[in-house]
Chain A
C-alpha cells in the first residue's frame, strides 16, 4: 500500500444524543505516516468521534474502514488489538508499578505458565525506547516520573502494541516547551515508521509545526480538511469559530454598579500554578472566565470559595477583607459555588430533590437543630416552579433526573441561600439548548438584582453572549480582561495561549 492512500477512514459517521446532533455525516481519512490534526471548539464533536472509533459510543450510521476492511469495535481493547491506540489527556497508569510493568501490563512476556520473563520484558522495553529516542529507566516507578515522561511511556506502550494509528488528545496540555519539542521528535519517529497520528489540540501554533493535514470540526460537522501548507492560522481560527450567534442568548439587560468583590494576588497552596490572581467584580456584573483546559479556571473560583487552600492574597467583599478559609465561612459571607463536576461535588445522588435543594440552607429552616419541613418544602417548591425543574415529586431521588434538571436543582440550592456573589463553574455543561437559555436568563436576572456573578465557561460563544467582561486565563495566570463589547473568539484564543 503506498503512503498516499487512507489507512483509517471515517465515512459519514452520525451520532445523535437526545436533543443534540453530536456528529453529522463526518468523513475523515488518516494516511499512513502522517499527522492529522483535528481542531474545533469544545463540543464540536472531536471526542465523540474518537469515542466512536474506540467503541465507547456506537455511531447511529456510517462506517469506519481500517486498512480497507470495515470495522466496528465494541470495546477499546478490541480497537487496541487491531492497531489503534490512544494517548489520553488523563494518564491511566498504575503509579505504584515500574515503567516496564506498565507497558506490558496484561500481556507480560512469560516463561512457562506462571513466571514473568523479566529479561525479555526489559529488553523489549529498551528496544522500543531506543527506537523512539526515549531515555527513561524501565525499572523506575511510574509515580516518580514527570507528566511528560509518563506520556512518553504511554506512547511507547502504543508502539509496543504495534499501533498503526495513535490518537493523541491534547498531548501537550501540561508540557513545557522543551518537553513539547521532545514529544515532537518522538512523533516524527513514529511517522517514519508509517504510523498515522490523529492529533487533537487547541494549540494552533503547535499544529502548524507538527501536522501534515488539518481537519476543522464545528457543531458536529467537518468544515474542511486541508493540507497544513495551504492554510494560515488566521484562516483556521475563522473556520473554527465561524457561526452565527442569533437568538442563542437572552438580552443582556443588567447594569453594572459599584465594586462588590476584589481579589488581590490570590495564589493557591496545592495548585501552585495559580498565582497572583487579581481582579474585581462589580455589583450586577457578569464576569466570564475563559481559558483552555488546564488553565486553572476551576481552581481559582474554588480558591475564592475556600474549597481550596490559599497560600496568599486577599478576598475583599464590600471593602472588608473576608478570607473565606473554608466553604462554611464562604457561605456565611454570602458566596455561592456551583461546581463543575456535578457528580463529584454537586449532587447527593440517593437523597431527594428536596434535600438536595435545601441542604445548604438548613440554618434557615432549623430551630434548635430540628428541621421545619414545612418551611423548607415551601421554598423548595418555589425553586422547582421558578427554575422549571422537571421532577415527578419533591421526594424523587435526584439521580433519577436528567443532568439539566439536576443542574437546575443545584443552582436552586444556591439561590435559596440568597448569595451576593455567585461563582458558577460551567453552569451549562451537559445541558440541552433549551435549558441553557433558561439558565442564561436566570443568570442575567440575578445580575439585575445587583448580585455579582463569576462564570467559567469553556464555550466562548456563551461567554461572549452573556458576560459583561471576560477574564482570560492562561496556565494559571490572568492573561487579560476583555470587555465583551470588543472581544471576539480570536482575541480570547490568542490570550488563552499567552503563557503556554
Chain B
C-alpha cells in the first residue's frame, strides 16, 4: 500500500484484468453459444436481421443517454419523449384512406413531421440541459420532472385529437420509412448505423466530445482548464433529444400505431444497456462500441432466449442479473484498494 510507480500484475491478475476488460464480449459470446447449442437453427441471417432491426431504435436511444451518463447524469424522460414524438408524428402521418383520420387532407411528406418531432424533443431535452446546468438540479430529478410533465402533455394531446384510441392507419410512406429495405438491409439498421457513426464522430473527433469526457472525469479540473461547462452540458442534452425524437418517430412507424403510453420504461432499458456496455454511472468513462454491444446483448436475450422457448418472465430475471453483474465487474476496476 501507498507505493507509487507502476503496478506490476502477476499472471493471474493479468488474466483477471483481460477478463474484466472484455466481460461484455464474453457475455455476448456465451449467450450466442448457449442459444446455438440448444437450437442450431438460431444461426441464420434472418434471425440476426431481426435482432439488429429490433435493436435499431434502442441503439439510437442508448446513444443519446450515453452522453448524459458520461456526464455522470441520467435521463428518466426518454420514454416520455419517445411517446411524445410517436403520438405527434403518427397523428400527422395517417393514411388518407383511413376513415378515422385526425387531420384529413394534410398529406405532409414524411420528412416534415419526423423533423418536427426531432426538433421538439431536442427542445425539450435542451430545457432539461438548462435545468441541470443553470439551476443545478440533479439530472435524476430534472428528467423525472420533465418526464411527468411530458406524459401529461402527450396524454392531453392524445385525448383531444384521438379520442383516447390508438392512433393507427399510418400512411404507407411513413410505414415504408421505417420498415423499408435497401438491398435486404432494413432502413432501421441504416438509421442506427448512421447514428452510431455520427455519435462516434462527436465523441472521438470533436471538441464537444473531449469536453464531455473532461466534465465527466473531473468537473473542477474542466473548469480550471477553461472548458465551457454549461454549454457542453446543454449541447449533450440537445443531441440526446434529437436522437430520442427521431427514435420515437421510428418506433411508431415500426409498430404501426401509437398510444400515449408508447415508450413507457424505455429509459431504463437504454440506461441498462449503456451500463452493461461499460458506461460508468460515475461519469467520464464509456465508448460507443460498448453501448452498441450493450444494446445487442439485451436484444439477443430478448429474441434469442424466446427463440429457444425460455419463458419471458425468466428473461427479466436474466436481464436483471446481467445488469448487476456488469456494474459489479465495472466497480472492481475503480475500487481503491488499501
- Neighbour of A348 across the interface among B4, B217, B228, CB < 8 A: B217
Q: Can you name the residue of chain B whose Cβ is closest to the Cβ of A342?
A: B221
- Chain A nearest Cβ from B277, distance in angstroms: 15
Known: A347-B218, A366-B207, A370-B205. A360 touches B4 (CB 8 A): no
B225 at the binding interface (Cβ < 8 Å): yes
- Tell me whether A135 is interfacial, beta carbon within 8 Å: no
Residues of A in contact (CB 8 Å), total 35
A349 contacts B by Cβ under 8 Å: yes
Q: A360 CA to B207 CA in the complex, in Å? A: 11
CB-CB nearest in chain A for B285: A350
Q: Which of B208-216, B288-296, B310-318 contacts A (4 or more CB under 8 A)?
A: B208-216
On chain A, the residues within 8 Å of B213 by CB distance are: 348, 350-351, 355
> Which of A355, A360, A366, A371 touches B226 (beta carbons < 8 Å)?
A360
Chain B residues with CB under 8 Å of A402's CB are 4-6
| Cβ contact within 8 Å between B285 and A345 | no
B218 and A345: CB pair below 8 A?
Answer: yes
Residues A348 and B207 in contact in the complex (CB < 8 Å), given A57-B2, A328-B228: no
Which residues of B74-98 have CB atoms within 8 Å of chain A's CB atoms?
Answer: none
Q: Complex Cα distance A400/B285, Å? A: 15
Complex Cα distance, B220 from A344, in Å, reads 7
Residues 194-239 of B contacting A (Cβ, < 8 Å): 205-211, 213-214, 217-218, 220-228
Closest to B218 in A: A348
- Asked whether any CB of chain A lies closer than 8 Å to the CB of B10, the reply is no
Q: Quick check: A307 and B210 within 8 Å, CB to CB?
A: no
Shortest Cβ gap from A370 to chain B (Å):
5
- Chain A neighbourhood of B217, CB < 8 A: 348-351
Over the window 347-374 of chain A, the binary record of Cβ atoms lying under 8 Å from chain B Cβ atoms (1 yes, 0 no) is 1111100010011101000100111010
CA distance A149 to B20 in the complex (A): 49
Task: Give the complex CA separation of A413 and B222 in angstroms.
Answer: 12
Chain B residues near A400 (CB-CB < 8 A): 6-7
Nearest CB on B from A400, distance (A): 8
Does A421 make an interface contact (CB < 8 A)? no
Q: Given that A18-B5, A369-B208, A373-B205 are known contacts, is A359 also in contact with B223, CB under 8 Å in the complex?
A: no
Chain A's closest residue to B220 (CB) is A345
A403–B4 CA distance with the chains assembled, in angstroms? 8
Name A329's closest neighbour in chain B (CB-CB): B226
B245 interface hit (Cβ, 8 Å): no
Kindly list chain A residues whose C-beta atoms are within 8 Å of the C-beta of B284.
348-351
Closest to B333 in A: A350
B198 → A minimal CB distance (Å): 12
Bound state CA distance, A213 and B209, in angstroms? 59
Q: Are A345 and B221 in contact (CB under 8 A)?
A: yes
CB-contact partner of B224 in A17, A307, A350, A358, under 8 A: A307
A18 with B4, Cβ < 8 A, contacts A347-B218, A413-B225 known:
yes
A331 CB–B CB distance under 8 Å: yes
Q: Which of B209, B220, B284 has the most CB of A within 10 A?
A: B220
CB-CB under 8 A from A307, the residues of chain B are 223-224
Nearest-CB distance from B152 to chain A (Å)?
36
- A345/B211 in contact, CB under 8 A: no
Is the pair B206, A370 in contact by a Cβ cutoff of 8 Å?
yes
B13 located at the interface, meaning its Cβ lies under 8 Å from any Cβ of chain A in the complex: no
* Chain A contacts with B in 302-320, Cβ cutoff 8 A: 305, 307
A49 an interface residue at 8 Å Cβ cutoff?
no
Q: Say if the beta carbon of B3 comes within 8 Å of chain A.
A: yes
Give the distance in Å from the alpha carbon of A397 to the alpha carbon of B51 in the complex. 35
Q: What's the least CB distance linking A3 to chain B, in Å?
A: 36
Question: Taking each of A58, A348, A358, A371, which has the highest tally of chain B beta carbons within 10 Å of its own beta carbon?
Answer: A348
Q: Which residues of B contact A58 (CB under 8 A)?
A: 1
In the complex formed, the residue of B with least CB distance to A358 is: B210
Residues of B1-28 contacting chain A, CB below 8 A: 1-7
CA–CA, A358 and B214, complex, Å: 11
> Are the C-beta atoms of B226 and A345 separated by less than 8 Å?
no
For residue B5, which residues in chain A have a CB less than 8 angstroms away from its CB? Answer: 18, 402
Hey, which chain A residues are within 8 Å of B224, CB to CB?
Answer: 305, 307, 327, 337, 339, 345-346
**B3 proximity list for chain A (CB < 8 A):** 17-18
Given A328-B226, A331-B226, A369-B208, answer yes or no on A355-B214 (Cβ-Cβ < 8 Å): yes
Is A330 an interface residue when CB atoms closer than 8 A count as contact? yes
Task: Establish whether residues B211 and A362, one from each chain, have CB atoms under 8 Å apart when the complex forms.
Answer: yes
* Contacting pair A371 B4 (CB below 8 A): no
Knowing A350-B285, A369-B207, A370-B206, the reply to whether A327 touches B223 (Cβ < 8 A) is: yes
Contact A17 B226 (CB under 8 A): no
- Among B1, B208, B225, the most chain A Cβ lie within 10 Å of the Cβ of B225
- In the complex, which residue of chain A has the Cβ closest to the Cβ of B228? A328
Q: List chain B residues, Cβ under 8 A from A373.
A: 205
The docked-state distance in angstroms from the alpha carbon of A17 to that of B223 is 33
Q: Mark A116-154, 1 if CB is under 8 A from B, else 0.
A: 000000000000000000000000000000000000000
A356 to B207, CA, bound (A): 13
B2 cross-chain contacts in A, Cβ below 8 A: 17, 57
Would you call B220 and A359 a contact (CB within 8 A)? no
Within 8 Å CB of B7, what residues of A?
400
Given contacts A348-B217, A359-B214, contact A371 B228 (CB under 8 A): no
Asked if A355 contacts B223 (CB within 8 A), the reply is no
Give the nearest-CB partner of A398 in chain B: B217
Near A by CB (< 8 A), chain B positions 236-287 give: 284-285
Chain B residues near A345 (CB-CB < 8 A): 218, 220-221, 223-224
- Distance, CA A345 to CA B224, complexed state (A): 7
The answer for the CA separation of A57 and B5 in the assembled complex, in Å, is 17
Shortest CB-to-CB span from A69 to chain B, Å, is: 25
**How far apart sit A373 and B206, CA to CA, in the bound complex (Å)?**
10
Residues of B within 8 Å of A349, CB to CB, are 217-218, 284
Closest CB in chain A relative to B80 CB, distance in Å: 30
Which chain B residues (304-338) contact chain A, with CB distance < 8 Å?
none
A17 in contact with B205 (CB, 8 Å): no
A330 to B209, CA, bound (A): 23
**In the complex, A331→B224 CA distance in Å?**
9
Contact B221 A347 (CB under 8 A): yes
Within 8 A of B (CB), among A429-478: none
User: Residue of B at shortest CB range from A338?
Assistant: B224
CB-CB nearest in chain B for A365: B207
Closest chain-B Cβ to A431's Cβ sits at a distance in Å of: 10
CB neighbours (8 Å) of B223 from chain A are 307, 327, 345
Q: How far is the CA of A112 from the CA of B222 in the complex (A)?
A: 52
* Contact in complex: B214, A348 (CB < 8 Å): yes
10 contacts between A and B (CB under 8 A): A18-B3, A327-B225, A337-B224, A347-B221, A348-B222, A351-B213, A358-B210, A360-B225, A360-B226, A369-B206
Identify the 6 closest CB pairs spanning chains A and B, nearest first: A345-B220, A348-B217, A331-B226, A360-B225, A328-B226, A362-B207
14 new A-B contacts at CB < 8 Å, known A328-B228, A345-B221, A371-B210: A17-B2, A17-B3, A327-B225, A337-B224, A344-B218, A345-B220, A348-B213, A348-B217, A349-B217, A349-B218, A350-B284, A351-B213, A366-B207, A373-B205
